[in-house]
Amino acid sequence: MAEKIRERAYAKLNLTLDVLGKLPNGYHDLAMVMESVELGDDVDITARNDGEIHLNSNLPWLPKDGRNLAVEAVKVFRTAIGDESLGADIYLRKRIPVGAGMAGGSTNAAAVLRALNRYTNRPFNADRLRELGLKIGSDVPYCVCGGSRLAEGQGEILSPLPMPPECHVVICKPGFSISTGELFKKIDERSSRIRPDTPGLIAAMEQKDVAGMARRLYNVFEDVLPRNLREVGELKSRFLDQGALGTVMTGTGSAVFGIFDDYDKAADASVELGEYCRDVFLTKFVDEIEI
């Protein structure tokens, strides 16, 4: 029996998110400042030599077949190393809320790639793992190493950024999810939009200016949210009332997070916001993962 490998699958947050247009392959051209946070899932993997892939989770309703990106990651990895007999028993202990815009499925897939790379004595470096990740999903290349990065193109063009200044992050996931496809359609139909000040945000990060960074949080998808999802805006107002320096929706939602420069304020806010959201997390940014 192969040894069980455990990988931490860190959630991601978007400090900025901009949609620049469409690429020739039909995907959207994006520009995003992305950060990993301490909140994450545990991914336990035991390799098999019979080619079978079995997945279980503490969330019994999660797909267990190829619709789950963790399963797809095993298939992509074994094809890359040329060993179709490689299989895996996977257990996902989920903490990242589903349908939140926090790359829960993508970060699980990235954890599987890292674990299998370790099991097979690291045949691939980080760049190659990211290439494999793009075959699975646009967020997977970032999730392979996480950390502080500017992501462009489909999300696969990654440039390292300085770690944000020390601060505290509170994340709230409302009791609804948002259709990614619907938001992209609305973005495509919109002729003009406000764009995030990504260079200014990066400069604030370099200067360790928490307030300057927080002021520049911006996600263009907030501008095209359906009218019936006003709860996102209301949640942002509650964050500011609780002392957040800045707040924004991550990805295509529906999770919203706020940045605080004081732990006690962040802790109090997480309690207060728990009155409105079932899933509330007090966390912090974390550095990139070593391969």
23-77 pLDDT tens trace: 898 889 999 999 999 999 999 999 999 999 999 999 999 999 999 999 999 999 9
Sheet holding 246-249, edge to edge: 246-249, 256-260, 168-173, 279-283
Domains in the chain (CATH in brackets) are 5-160 (3.30.230.10), 168-286 (3.30.70.890)
pLDDT at 158 over 70: yes
End-to-end CA distance of the chain: 24
Angle between helices 104-119 and 69-81 (to 10 degrees): 30
- pLDDT of 227: 79
Let me know the angle formed at the C-alpha of 112 by 107 and 114, rounded to the nearest 5 degrees: 95
Model pTM?
Answer: 0.95
pLDDT at 1 over 60: no
Distance CA 81, CA 132 (A): 11
Distance CA 109, CA 10 (A): 11
Residue 86: half-sphere exposure toward Cβ, Cα within 13 Å: 21
- pLDDT band for position 136 (cuts 50, 70, 90): very high
- pLDDT of 256: 97
Write down the mean pLDDT value for the chain: 95
pLDDT at 279 over 60: yes
- pLDDT band for position 193 (cuts 50, 70, 90): confident
| Identity of residue 188 | D
**By three-state DSSP, how is residue 16 classified?**
strand
Concatenate the DSSP letters of all residues of 88-103 into one string: EEEEEE--SPTTSSS-
- pLDDT of 178: 87
- pLDDT band for position 197 (cuts 50, 70, 90): very high
H or E element at residue 112:
helix 104-119
Q: How far is CA 3 from CA 6, 205, 218, 291, in A?
A: 10, 41, 44, 18
- pLDDT band for position 189 (cuts 50, 70, 90): confident
Concatenate the DSSP letters of all residues of 140-187 into one string: HHHHHH-SSEEEEETTTEEEE-PPPPS-EEEEEE-S----HHHHHHHH
- Report the Cα 131 to chain-centroid distance in Å: 17
**By three-state DSSP, how is residue 120 classified?**
coil
pLDDT at 82 over 80: yes
- pLDDT of 195: 92
- pLDDT of 26: 85
- Out of 66-75, 78-87, 189-198, 281-290, which region has the weakest mean confidence (pLDDT)? 189-198
Residues paired with 14 in a beta bridge: 34
Exposure letters 34-44 (e unless 16+ CB within 10 A, then b): bbbbebbbbbb
Q: Which residues are catalytic?
A: 12, 139
pLDDT mean over 114-124: 97
H or E element at residue 202:
helix 198-206
Task: Note whether 16 and 198 are within 8 A (CB).
Answer: yes
